[in-house]
Every structure is written in structure tokens, then in C-alpha cells.
Amino acid sequence: MSEYSKPLPAVQPWSRPFWEGTRENRLLIQECKACGAKIFYPRKACPECWSAELGWSEACGRGKVYTFTVTLTGVEEKFAGDLPYVLAMIDLDEGIRMMGNVVECDPGDVEIGMEVEVVFERVTDEITLPKWRPFRG
Amino acid sequence: MSKARSAIIGVGEVPTGRFPERSRWDIIYDTCMEAVCDAGLDKNDIEGVITVAPQAQPRLTAEISFGKIPEELGLKNCKDVCIGNAGGASTTNCLRMAEHWVTSGIAKAVLIPHVTVHTTIPLDEVIGFFATAGMDLQWEYPFGTTYNGMAAMMTQRYMYETGTTAEELASVVVALRAWAALDPNSMFFGKPLTIEKVLSSPMVSTPLHARECNVLADGGGAMVVTSAERAADITDTPVYKLGHGVRYVGAAPVLRHDDSMRESWRGAFKDAFEQAGVTKDDIDVFEFYGAYPMGQCVMLEAAGICELGDSGKFIMEGCTSPGGKVPCATIGDAVGRGHTGSGVSMANYIETARQIMGKAGERQVPDCRLALATASGGSGMNTTATVFGREIR
Ligand SMILES: [Zn+2]
């Protein structure tokens, strides 16, 4: 696992539960107990009301492609082996939007509005990245 | 209704291109000396230096931050020095700070320089810088973001929402390169393009082809700013800053809601026009800095020149090109000029000043009295719009 040379997320203390969640194949969304806001990305205080009373709920793991690009060249050396890869913004059913990769399909098949589901890619002992593949049901 | 407080009175520039043999300090000398001479001032009239932060050049940034420019150039009466960094919007902030310095008694005239030499930075370092410039290190970068990729995703969505075609998007580059072809300081001087040539260039990050992306370049520029009160005594061609508007959008592209860029541009334009006491119809030239072709479209629509989704057609018909009825981006934006980091906005303001001064050569818009200049930082974190004019209004 120490082979992974691509950048790892710069985790903050308050986002640790998110990354503990992905390690257990669960996609967690931060929520504000004071105002009910669903928060992405996770914060130390609610960006709506500044409450520090924050909790977590599990997302269903489904969403739609909001936009995407098939990356073909011009990447850092550490990503070169992945080319071509799909970088995408995913609208989760819960109403938040996340950046990710669409995997397990031909990059040419990806389109805006496409239904996707989360898959978890364990890259180190600490970090598991949430990725997205075409919805299989 | 505006009462101008500051004016650009001198500009200096070296050509944009690949000049690995030129040191950054060599460029700083040439641009600063030209700008001060252009203003008709003596070096010792410069009482403040506010530098546009060079991106991806930490050692130079540190040298400049810690006061080297006035000492190096022998600006004997310089009272203070500062560096401004807001990515592509840095120059805007330097102009605003200069306005404060020249109206508050700190300085009679302020020098605003910028230099970037990309070609001597190791390629992987440059790619690495742009892979994280305006991307979130926790929520975006680990998935392999690139600067082109981020623009590509925004462009993909824009085309989906508006029905803008690949040909229309390519025609934006054609229009920009037509302007750049007339600009001796452009990397693409004398090199116009066709839609076919844009679309046959290799795909970089769908839907963006290589010729729709920016070529990193070296260059530099400088401006001299004084108060509106003093400007006319110093020069016959002052460029008054008449109105200004700005909106913050957000740092991480993934968090921007669907209409945020358009709304932000609308807000910035509204404030700038209102403050200047003008409307879009009064503007003679729109110096849009969009960084990627889509930016020109979004700004044309946000300024109310085109309906949503009609700008591609408008540009393809040549309306924004040399000789067109709405001249836009007369240095050809980053894609035509060559990308010098935060220097594109410096080049854009210098061109705006030249148009008002009547010194824009073959690109000169006839009887140019009012100009709008825009800038944006990071991956689109903000939108800034400034109206400049020949007379105090
Ligand atoms: Zn809250």
C-alpha cells in the first residue's frame, strides 16, 4: 500500500469521520444539528449558521453526473499512468455535489445526467477514495 | 455618477513569448523604466511600488515582497512597498490599493509591475502548480484535477446548458487569435487561426482542444498610477478609473452553484456601470479576460450584450473580432496573448489603457472613450469589472 504516489487528501481534524467512513465503505455527509444543513465539504463550524453541533448521516451512494471531462494529457507525472481518466462532478441524491472520477466504464460513454453509484478505492491503509461507476442497481 | 479618483498615466511592456535567456530582473528594469518614462515622470516621482504577485516563482515573490524593487531601480523617494496576490485578479487589487495610496497622501505616483518567466521553471513544477491553483487539496486535487480540466468541466456544462457548439467555441479562439495577430507583444503575433485548425488540434481535456487552452509564456508589464486630480497635469492621455464592481464566487469549483459565475459577472458589471454612470451601450471596447474561450461567452451574456446561449453565434459572426461592432479582448485574452500567470490581467489593463490613450496600433478601436476591463482569480474565485475612460465623469 505504500506504493501509492498520487496526492492524498489534506485531511482536517473535523473531516476525519468522512475518511473513516470511506475506509468502511460508507459515504458520510456532515449535517448541522442546529439548522439542518447538509454540509459539503465538512467544516469545523456550520457554514450556514456557525453552529459547532455537527453530526453525520450516511448517503445512499447514488448520484448523477453534473459535468465531467475526459483528461487526455497535461497531467502531473504521478497521474500519467491513469490516462485517459474521467474527472467529474457528481450531484448526490442527498443534494450535495462532490468531485470524483467515473471508473469501470469507457470514458467515451460518460455523459451529463448519467446515473452513477459510489465505489470505494482503498489507496493506503488510511485513505479510501470514493469513486463513481455507472449505476448497476 | 462617478467622480474618478485615480488614473493610469503610463504603461510599459515586454513582448510575451518564450525568453528563457531573459532574467526576471532584466524584464522588471525594462517594463518599469518604460512605464515611468511613458508617464513623463522622473524615477524619483514614484513614491510607492505595489507589485502584482508572480505565480509559481516563490523566490522572486519573496524578494519582491521584502522590498527589492525600489532599491534595485533606485527609486529614491519611495515611501512604501507591497505585493498583491489574488491570482489572475492580483492586478485589480494592486490598482485599487494604488488608488488608496495616491488619494490618501502616501504617494503621489505608484508603480505597479509584474513579471513571470515560466520557461525556466521545471515543467512538472508548473503543471503541479496549476493542478492545485484554485483547486481544493482535500476534495478535488486527489482525483487528478488540472487547470485545463477544471475549465473543461465548466465548458462542458456551459455547452450542455446553452447548446453552444464545438464550432462556436472554436470560433472564440479564432476571434481572439485575430486580435493577437495584430499585437506585436503577443506570442501569436501574425498567426491567425481558422475553426478547422482549432478543432483539428489534439484534444487535451474534453471538450477542450489544445488550441482552446493556454500556452504558458514569459512576459512582464508595468503601469504608473496617480490621483485623478494630478493626472491631467502630468500627461495629455490620462486613463481615469471611473467605476468598479466585484463579486466573490468561491474557491473550490465543485461548490459553485449552477449559475454562480453568471450571477457574479452580472453583479460586478452592474456595480461598475452604475458607479461610472454609464451603460453597456456607452462602452467602446470590452477588454474581457476570460482565460478560456467560454469566459468570453459568459461575460458577453452577463453584460447583456447577448442572450444566454447566443454569444457563440455572435462571436462566430465576427461581431467581437477586429472590425466587429462589439470589439472584445483586443490582445486576444490569455489564449491569444500567451499565459503569464497573473500577468494576463496586467497585459489586459495595459491594453485597456492603450486603447483609451489611442496608442493601440492596428488594434485601435476608433475614438475609444470608454472601456470595460475584467479579471478573475484562481479557478474563477471572483469576478471583477472596471470602467476606464478618457474624461473624468
Ligand atoms: Zn447550521
Interface contact flag, A67 B143, Cβ < 8 Å = no
- Ordered domains of chain B (ranges, CATH): 6-121+219-234 (3.40.47.10)
- Separation of alpha carbons A125 and B313, rounded Å: 52
The residue extents of the domains of chain A are 10-58, 60-137
B156 CB near a chain A CB, below 8 Å? yes
Interface contact flag, A87 B144, Cβ < 8 Å = yes
Interface contact flag, B156 A67, Cβ < 8 Å = yes
B157 CB near a chain A CB, below 8 Å? yes
Gyration radius of chain A's alpha carbons: 16
Q: Tell me the nearest-neighbour CA distance from B51 into chain A, angstroms.
A: 30
Interface contact flag, B127 A82, Cβ < 8 Å = no
Nearest to A74 among B136, B142, B146 (CB): B146
B261 CB near a chain A CB, below 8 Å? no
CATH topology for the A10-58 domain: Rubrerythrin, domain 2 (2.20.28)
Prediction ipTM score: 0.97
pLDDT given for residue B2 in this prediction: 66
pTM exceeding the 0.90 threshold for the entire prediction: yes
| Distance from Cα B33 to the centre of ligand 1, integer Å | 54
pLDDT given for residue B259 in this prediction: 85
> Residue A9's closest chain B neighbor by CA?
B138
Q: How many CB atoms lie within 10 A of CB A127?
A: 17
Would you state the cell numbers that stand for residue B222, as one nine-digit string?
A: 508595468
Would you state the cell numbers that stand for residue A62, as one nine-digit string?
A: 447514488
- Separation of alpha carbons B80 and B225, rounded Å: 15
> Residue B154's closest chain A neighbor by CA?
A67
pLDDT given for residue B258 in this prediction: 78
Give the DSSP letter of residue B142: G
Give the DSSP letter of residue B99: H
Specify the residue for cell string 494576463.
B344
pLDDT given for residue A92 in this prediction: 98
Would you state the cell numbers that stand for residue B254, as one nine-digit string?
A: 465543485
Amino acid symbol at B275: Q
Specify the residue for cell string 473550490.
B252
- Separation of alpha carbons B334 and B176, rounded Å: 9
Domain A60-137, CATH 3.90.640 — does that match?
A: no
> Residue B146's closest chain A neighbor by CA?
A75
Would you state the cell numbers that stand for residue B50, as one nine-digit string?
A: 505595489
The residue-averaged pLDDT of A105-117 equals 98
Q: List all residues 6 or more positions away from A24 whose beta carbon is below 8 Å from its beta carbon.
A: none
Interface contact flag, A72 B206, Cβ < 8 Å = yes
B204 CB near a chain A CB, below 8 Å? yes
Looking at chain A, the whole-number percentage of residues with pLDDT higher than 70 is 99
Top pLDDT among A2 and A128 is at A128
| Distance from Cα B44 to the centre of ligand 1, integer Å | 55
Phi-psi category of B308—alpha, beta or left, where left has phi over 0 and alpha has psi -120 to 50?
beta
pLDDT averaged per 10 residues in sequence order, chain B, 393 residues: 89 96 96 98 98 95 97 98 96 98 97 96 87 90 94 96 97 98 97 98 98 96 98 98 97 88 96 97 97 96 97 98 98 96 96 98 98 95 97 89
pLDDT tier at A2, thresholds 50, 70, 90 = low
B333 CB near a chain A CB, below 8 Å? no
Per-residue pLDDT of A10-63, as tens digits, reads 999 999 999 999 999 999 999 999 999 999 999 999 999 999 999 999 999 999
Tally A–B CB contacts below 8 A. 102
